[in-house]
């Protein structure tokens, strides 16, 4: 979450408690285990097949995602930093 907040330039994030995660998982019909238990995994099959990732570190990936979303939000003639009025 720190990498996402940094990429979006959000200085402070509020902690999410277990009950919040459980409520969100219930609403999304998901399992809290996906949120609460982190696991380090390696994409062995993809790597064995020759797949190469553009981004291999999470902070770099988060920044690239934010850049992609910001670029998509800009319409024709809009300058960077000036989003659409909604």
The predicted model gives 18-29 an average pLDDT of 90
Residue 69 has, within 13 A of its CA and on its CB side, a CA count of: 9
Contact 84, 78 (CB under 8 A): yes
- Measured distance CA(86)–CA(38) in Å, rounded: 36
Question: What rounded mean pLDDT belongs to the chain?
Answer: 84
The two structure tokens encoding residue 7: 């990429």
Q: What pTM value is reported for the model?
A: 0.56
Q: 46 CB contacts (<8 Å, ≥6 apart)?
A: none
Rounded to whole angstroms, the Cα distance separating 56 from 60 reads: 8
Q: Encode pLDDT of 42-68 as tens digits.
A: 899 999 999 999 998 999 999 999 999
């Amino acid at each position: 979450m720190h990498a996402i907040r940094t990429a979006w330039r959000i200085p402070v994030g509020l902690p999410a408690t277990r009950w919040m995660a459980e409520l969100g998982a219930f609403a999304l019909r998901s399992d809290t285990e996906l949120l609460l238990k982190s696991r380090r995994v390696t994409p062995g099959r993809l790597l064995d097949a020759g797949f190469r990732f553009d981004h291999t570190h999470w902070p770099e990936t988060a920044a690239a995602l934010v850049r992609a979303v910001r670029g998509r939000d800009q319409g024709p003639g809009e300058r960077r930093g000036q989003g659409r009025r909604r």
